[in-house]
Structure 1
Amino acid sequence: MSNTLSYIHPGAKIAQNVQIDPFSVIHDNVEIGEGTWIGSNVTIFGGARIGKNCKIFPGAVISAVPQDLKYAGEETTAEIGDNTTIRECVTVNKGTSDKWKTVIGKNCLIMAYAHVAHDCIISDHCIISNSTQLGGHITVDEWAIIGGSCAFQQFTHVGAHSYTGGGSLVNKDIPPFVKAVRHPISFGGINVVGLKRRGFTSEQINLVMEIYRYVYNRGLNTSQAIQSIESEFAQTEVRDEVLEFIRSSKLGIIKGAPMSLLGEELTADAE
C-alpha cells in the first residue's frame, strides 16, 4: 500500500502488499516484492530489484548510478534478497559492465550510513555495521560480519564466517573462518564464537585452528603452507574452502600478527 505523498512511477512493479511511507520516490524499472516496507524519504532508482519482506529505512538510496567514471550509462541492476534490512541512509549503487549488477543477498543486515558500491556481491546472512564503506567489486561470502566504520579497498574478498573488527582499513583478502583485526589489518585468530553459533562442531573448529597454524604460525610462505595443508590434512569441505580461497586470492590474504599478540586464539581448544 502506498500513499499520495509518495511518487511511484507507473512503470515500477510493486507487489500488492508493499508499504511505502510518505515522501519516498520510486523510479521506473523498479521491482519490489511482497511484504516489503519502504520508509519515508527513501529513493529507489531504476534497476532496483528488491525481494520479499525487506525493510528499507528512511533516507536510504538504492540503485543510484555508480560513482565510477567508467560507467557509461549501461543498463544494470542493484539486487536485494528476501528478508534483508537496509537501515537509515544506506547507499547501494547499481553495477557496471564488470558484473552488470550489485547484489545483497537474503537475510542480511546493512546498518546505518553504510555504502555498498558498484559490482559488490554480498552473500546471504551477512552483517555490515554502521558507516562501513565497501569500494567497488568487493565480494563478501556468507555469514561474514563486518564491524562499524571499516573501509574496504576495491576488489577485496571477505571469506565466509569471518569477523572484521570495527575501524579496520582492509586492503587484503580476509580468509574464511578468521578474525581480522588491528592496524594494519592482520590475522587475529579463529572466529570461534561465530562458528559455534553457526553449528560447527568442536572437531571442525579445531581443524580450522590446525589449518591456520600452517598459514600463520609455522614460518611458511603461502605456497609452502598450501602444500603442507594438502599433504597433512584429509580432504574435507572446510579444508578445501580454505585452500580454494587462498589460491584464488588476487590481492593476497591478510598477514599474521606477532605471536605475542595472538594470546590463546590458536592454542585454546574449541570445546
Structure 2
Amino acid sequence: MIHETAIIDPGAKIGENVTIGAFTVIGAHVEIGDDCVISPHVVINGPTVIGKRNRIYQFASVGEDCQDLKYKGEPTRLIIGDDNTIREFTTLHRGTIQDSEETRIGSHNLFMAYSHVAHDCIIGNHCILANATQVAGHCVIGNHAILGGNSGIHQFCQIGEHAFVGTGSTVLKDIPAYVTVQGFPASPHGMNMEGLKRRGFSREAMKALRHAYKVVYREGNTLKEALAELESLDPLLPEVRVFIESIQASKRGIAR
C-alpha cells in the first residue's frame, strides 16, 4: 500500500490500511490514521496529526511551516479530523506560538483545489472551501459553512455555522450564523435558506430565522436594539439562539 518511491521519515507513525502514492514525502512527527489515502506527490510535514479515512490528492502541501513572518521554526501543530477530502494543490499550514500553537480542522470537510488555510485557523465540520478559497490566519469557520470559489477571508474573521460566502467575495467582517454574503467587501444578502432546507431545518426554524434577519438587517435597529428584541422572543428557538450568539461572539464587528 506504500509505493517504493515514497519517502517516509522513520519518526512518522502510519496507521493500518494506509495508501501512500509515488514520490510522496512524509516528514518526522507526522501521524496518519487508519484507512487514509495519500496520492502521489503529496508533502506532509509535522508536527501534524491526521485522523482516519482522509483522502489527500496529488500536490497538496499539509502541515508545512506557516507564512507568518513572526514564525521562527517553533514546533507548532496541525490537527486534522476524520473523513476529509483535500484536493490538488491545497495548502494547510501549522499554527504559531503567538496564538494557540495549532491549526485545527474538523471532520467531513471538502477542500477543493488550490484552497488555502493559514496558521492558527479553526475549521469546523462539514465545511466546503471551493476552488482557490483563501483563509488568512486566526480565522474561525463554523460547521457546515460554505466558502465560494476565489473568496478571501481576512485574518481574525469568524464565519458562523451554515453561513454561505458567495464566489469571489472578500470577507472583512465577521459573518453571523446562517447568513449569505456576497461582494467586495462581502455584504449580507439574506439567510442561507437553500442550505438550511437541504439540511432538514424545520419550516418553523426557517421562518424564525427570516424574522431574526429582518430584525438585525432590515428594520433600522442598532445592533444592541436588535439583539434585545431577539432575546425577548417567546419562544426563542435554538436556531435563533445560535444566530444571536454568533453575533455576540464577534470581535471584528459583523458585516451589515
Per the TM superposition, whether the score is higher than 0.5 is yes
**Which residue of 2 is the match for residue 154 of structure 1?**
155
User: Any runs of at least 4 consecutive aligned residues in structure 1 with deviations exceeding 6 A, and if so which?
Assistant: none
Mapped to 2, the partners of 1:190 and 1:236 lie a distance apart of 16
The one-letter code matched in structure 1 to 2:215 is Y
Mapped to 2, the partners of 1:184 and 1:94 lie a distance apart of 28
SS at match of 1:142: coil
The one-letter code matched in structure 2 to 1:244 is E
**Which residue of 1 is the match for residue 17 of structure 2?**
17
**Which residue of 2 is the match for residue 181 of structure 1?**
182
1:117 and 2:104 correspond:
no
SS at match of 1:205: helix
**Which residue of 2 is the match for residue 90 of structure 1?**
90
Where do residues 203-218 of structure 1 align in structure 2 (5 Å cutoff)?
203-218=204-219
Q: Tell me if structure 2 keeps the 8 A contact 1:45–1:64.
A: yes
Q: Tell me if structure 1 keeps the 8 A contact 2:205–2:237.
A: no
Q: Tell me if structure 2 keeps the 8 A contact 1:2–1:19.
A: yes
Mapped to 1, the partners of 2:173 and 2:186 lie a distance apart of 8
Mapped to 2, the partners of 1:244 and 1:184 lie a distance apart of 23
TM-score by length of 2: 0.97
Mapped to 2, the partners of 1:16 and 1:89 lie a distance apart of 26
**Which residue of 2 is the match for residue 226 of structure 1?**
227
Mapped to 2, the partners of 1:102 and 1:233 lie a distance apart of 39
Please report how far the alpha carbon of residue 233 of structure 1 lies from its aligned counterpart in structure 2 after TM superposition.
4.3
**Which residue of 2 is the match for residue 54 of structure 1?**
54
Q: Tell me if structure 1 keeps the 8 A contact 2:172–2:185.
A: no
Mapped to 1, the partners of 2:234 and 2:69 lie a distance apart of 47
TM-score by length of 1: 0.92
Where do residues 1-271 of structure 1 align in structure 2 (5 Å cutoff)?
1-97=1-97, 98-255=99-256
Mapped to 1, the partners of 2:232 and 2:202 lie a distance apart of 23
The one-letter code matched in structure 1 to 2:139 is I
Mapped to 1, the partners of 2:237 and 2:219 lie a distance apart of 22
Mapped to 1, the partners of 2:185 and 2:117 lie a distance apart of 22
Please report how far the alpha carbon of residue 184 of structure 1 lies from its aligned counterpart in structure 2 after TM superposition.
2.7
The one-letter code matched in structure 2 to 1:80 is I
Mapped to 2, the partners of 1:248 and 1:167 lie a distance apart of 25
Please report how far the alpha carbon of residue 47 of structure 1 lies from its aligned counterpart in structure 2 after TM superposition.
1.1
The one-letter code matched in structure 2 to 1:212 is Y
The one-letter code matched in structure 2 to 1:32 is I
Please report how far the alpha carbon of residue 108 of structure 1 lies from its aligned counterpart in structure 2 after TM superposition.
0.3
SS at match of 2:232: helix
Q: Which moved more, 1:64-73 or 1:29-38?
A: 64-73
Unaligned runs of 5+ in 1: 256-271
Q: Tell me if structure 2 keeps the 8 A contact 1:233–1:239.
A: no
Mapped to 1, the partners of 2:116 and 2:206 lie a distance apart of 32
SS at match of 1:224: helix
Mapped to 2, the partners of 1:215 and 1:94 lie a distance apart of 36
The one-letter code matched in structure 2 to 1:122 is I
**Which residue of 2 is the match for residue 264 of structure 1?**
none
SS at match of 2:181: strand
Cα offsets for 1:106-137 (capped at 9, x unmatched): 00000000110001100010000000100000
In 2 relative to 1, CA 221–236 (structure 1 residues): closer, same or farther, beyond 3 Å? same
State the identity as a percent.
Answer: 43
Cα offsets for 1:86-122 (capped at 9, x unmatched): 0000000001120111112100000000110001100
Please report how far the alpha carbon of residue 231 of structure 1 lies from its aligned counterpart in structure 2 after TM superposition.
2.0
Unaligned runs of 5+ in 2: none
The one-letter code matched in structure 1 to 2:157 is T
Cα offsets for 1:54-94 (capped at 9, x unmatched): 10000000111111122232222111211100000000000
